Amino acid sequence: MSRLFEPYINSTLDIPNRTVRSATWEGMADEDGFVQPGLIDLLEQLAANCVGIVIPGYFYIRPDGRGLPWQTGIWSDEHVKGLKKLATAVQAQNGRVIAQIAHAGGRTLPATIMGKIPAGPSAVEGFAYGTTPRELTLGEIRELVDDFARAALRAKQAGFDGVQLHAAHCYLISQFLSPYCNRRKDAYGGTPAGRRRFLTEVYEAVQAAVGPEFPVLIKINTTDGIEGGITVEESLAATRQLADLGLAAVEVSGGMAGSDNSRPSRKGISKPSQEAYFRDMAKAFKKELSIPVILVGGIKSPEVAEDILASHDADFVSMSRPLICEPDLVRRWKQGDRARARCVSCNKCLAEGLKGTGIACVGLSDNQQVKGDSVE
């Protein structure tokens, strides 16, 4: 039997196979973050096509935490009704659905958050979208911890199978973990232990809110892709601490906007040797941790996915852009068509979402040329 389609069952997770739809902003909510029918249809289709875990793109936990327009919100109890419809639709297709919760921190624009100045751990230029964030106060940090916990509880009330903390790609938790973004001298910075304090407090508050039986996962940067950013060792130490507290699984990622060749979604992944570009990091995590490890980053070939699992470098393989291009990709592989994903890694699917109609493949044929630039 293909390792890719083996079920995974432990005390907290019961997953039909080893495939994951990695969270990606879809741009398919309304102006206030409420779920719209198109988003439900998109994610339901992925589960119907055999994706084991579907993780919708990052739900923002409060209005000033939105990173992009038409992002899905989880900052109000009023969001629960639509989120419940989404979760139920995925589960009806035998998929598991995990709510990724996040705050953009300094990585947003005033226009996206009602004219407010973005806030992060420190007022550091150069990692955001042009607006230097202001430094969060201690009181604001405590409020954010509570907001993450309330968002996680809403995910549970909506019927999700778990929640994932977004600690990657230089959003707020990632900013606190990064020595480049976090220049604080108080208890939330200064040392690796100080930089991971915010994450630890968020995790503990979330787990207390949802209860010990509800799975809490994390997606974490192992590199920021810039000099002075987080190291694999610091990232692993933070994850190990959470694993000791009951963390259900970790998704290994890296990079940020502007980190060039180390960004999360890299262009031009055209051959198997370029795939799984965070594999070495996942292997290091797998060696040190007893919890499941999910690997994301440019995976497009079933042979690569199978080798990752057979080598025990990860327990799950996670994809996004290939599933935007081919929502039926996992089913195709399962049915015996083992051709590589048609996705050409142009990133134009993400630029398409900025038009207001939602993320979508631009529909390039195999013979068309990819030209121009796009967003990450």
**Active site residues per annotation:** 171
Which phi and psi (to 5°) does residue 248 adopt?
-85, -35
R_g (Cα) of the chain, nearest Å = 19
DSSP 315-340: SEEEESHHHHH-TTHHHHHHTT--PP
Of 61, 199, 225, the residue nearest 127 (C-alpha): 225
- 3-class DSSP state for residue 9? strand
H/E element, 210: helix 197-210
Reported as type and span, the H/E element at residue 351 is helix 348-352
Identity of the residue numbered 245 = L
- CA–CA distances in Å: residue 211 to residues 142, 166, 251, 350: 20, 19, 21, 35
- What is the distance between the alpha carbons of residues 113 and 93, in angstroms, rounded to a whole number? 35
Distance of CA 212 to the CA centre of its chain: 22
